[in-house]
Structures are given as structure tokens and as C-alpha cells.
Chains A and B, each alone.
Chain A
Amino acid sequence: MSESASPTAESRRLAQEARDRVRFEEEALELSDQVYRVARRLVGSREEAEDLVQQTYERAFRSWRQYTAGTNLRAWLLRILTNLNIDRGRRQQRAPQTTSLDGELGDYFLYNRLESTAGEENPDEERVLSRLSQDAIVDALAEVPHDFRDVIVLVDIGEFSYADAAQILDIPIGTVMSRLHRGRRILKKNLAEKAVTT
């Protein structure tokens, strides 16, 4: 066997690579709606989210060879997006110290609060839920500090596993879990403050 591939082998390899590339690009594009939905809540405005998603796809298409076929492409794209977001000047915030208030709020807090102020005896869950408007939810999420919000957005909005979120954000899985735990409580505290009074 000669060291260099024969011209036929080389052209076959190039043709295969072209096919792999097309397939990669198509698969990545099919995920763009999902990537955008996550991006939109990681940053403050639609314009920022659109820029970020576009840059993500530019970079992904340039470095497509680094993607290992068969692994989670959506997580791979989000990893690029998160890195770009940090590069853009979004400083990694230090997680704020737990305030005594957060510590006291259990997971039933929001329901208890909404139910006790519902103005009727024993309302059902739908009735309680209807006190939260769409705008209130969007604002309540936006007001959660970055570090906690990133994890909520990936796990609760993007439906990534703890392990994928850990990989995307490059933090230990235990940190994902603790931030998620606190982040959800902060979100609930914000929601309770924004609930429609009945």
C-alpha cells in the first residue's frame, strides 16, 4: 500500500465529507427553533438573542468537524452559544449569598401564598395558576440572577438533563442542582410578588 490515497480514494473521501457536512448543517438547522427559544431567555432582548444564534450557527458550521456524530447536537450548539455569550461581555456573576428569606421559602411557598390570597375558599390549581399572567412570568424569570437563570432556562425551558446543563455551562453537576434549587425558589418569590390580585 502506498502512503497517499489513490485519486479515487481521495475523491471518495471528499464526497463522503461533503455529504457529512450537508447532513450536519441540516440537522443543526432543524434544531434552530429550540436553540433560539433557549437563547431568548438567556439574554435580555430579541436582538441580542438573534445575534447570538446567528453567531452560534456561523461558528458551528465552521467547526463542524469538532462535533462527534451521534452525540447531543442541541447541547453542542448550546455550549457554543453559552461561550459566545460569555465572550460578549456577559461576566460570570458570582452567585449571591443565600439570604435568610430564600432559605425559609419551601417548595410549596408559591402555592401557599397564591392560595391564601386568592379570595376564595379552597380554589383549584387552575384558578390559582390563572393569577400569573404571561408578562409576569417573563419578567419574573428575567429578574432571576444570571447564574441561576441559566440553569433554569436550560433545564426547565430547554428540557436539558442536569448532565447536559453541566456540560453546556462547564460547571459541576452538583452546582447545576444547587443553582436550580435556589433559582426555582427565587423565581417563585418573584412570581408571588407579581401575582394578579383578585
Chain B
Amino acid sequence: MIDDPCDRCEEMMQPYLDGVLSEDEVRAAERHLEGCTWCAKRYRFEERLRHYVRVAVSEPMRPELKAKLAALRTPLT
């Protein structure tokens, strides 16, 4: 059982950012976030972190591989 509203908000953070909460749950989370800078800061951090991780681990494909893949196409007759 979760009594502390900040604990409840922490539990809702991942599903909130994943966009899988119901409308009622989203409203409940946002009501809490409006009044709680402590949780709001952690939500903002999590959102930034996700973006930061995505960018940090993104390694572009080398042009050599791109050329190899293009060469796999069926030749036009």
C-alpha cells in the first residue's frame, strides 16, 4: 500500500513518461506535480535522461555498410 503521495508519484513516473496511464491517472499525477517541486524536478530529470541516453548511445551507420546494403537491391531489368 502506498500512502505517501510522492511515493505514489514515483510509481507513476515511468508509465506517465511512456504514455500508458489512463486519463484519470495522468490528471492525478499532474495535480501532484503542480504542487510538488520535489517530484517535478525528478520527472524533468527522467525525461532529460531518456533523451540524453538515446543520444549518447546513438552511433551512426558507416557509409560502407550503407553502400553494401544498397548493393543488395534487386537489379532493375
Contacts and interface: CB of A to CB of B under 8 A. Distances in A.
Given A111-B42, A126-B48, A181 B69 contact: no
A125 B48 contact: yes
Contacts of B11: 107
A29 B70 CA distance: 7
B45 A111 contact: yes
A48 interface: no
Given A22-B74, A57-B72, A184-B14, A129 B56 contact: no
Interface string B14-45: 10001010000000000000000000011011
A41 B54 CA distance: 11
Interface residues of A, number: 41
Interface residues of B, number: 35
Main secondary structure of the interface of B (DSSP, over half): helix
Interface stretch (A31-39, A65-73, A81-89, A94-102): A31-39
A25 interface: yes
A53 B45 CA distance: 33
B13 to A, nearest CB: 5
Nearest to A123: B41
B45 A50 contact: no
A36 B13 contact: no
A132 B52 contact: yes
B29 to A, nearest CB: 13
A194 B65 CA distance: 32
B49 A110 contact: yes
A4 interface: no
Contacts of A32: 61, 65-66, 69
21 contacts: A21-B74, A22-B74, A22-B76, A29-B69, A29-B70, A32-B61, A36-B60, A46-B59, A50-B65, A53-B65, A54-B68, A54-B69, A57-B69, A57-B72, A61-B72, A61-B74, A106-B10, A107-B13, A156-B54, A180-B14, A187-B53
Given A29-B69, A54-B72, A141-B57, 14 more contacts: A21-B74, A36-B61, A36-B65, A46-B62, A53-B65, A61-B74, A111-B46, A125-B44, A132-B49, A134-B56, A137-B53, A137-B56, A159-B54, A181-B14
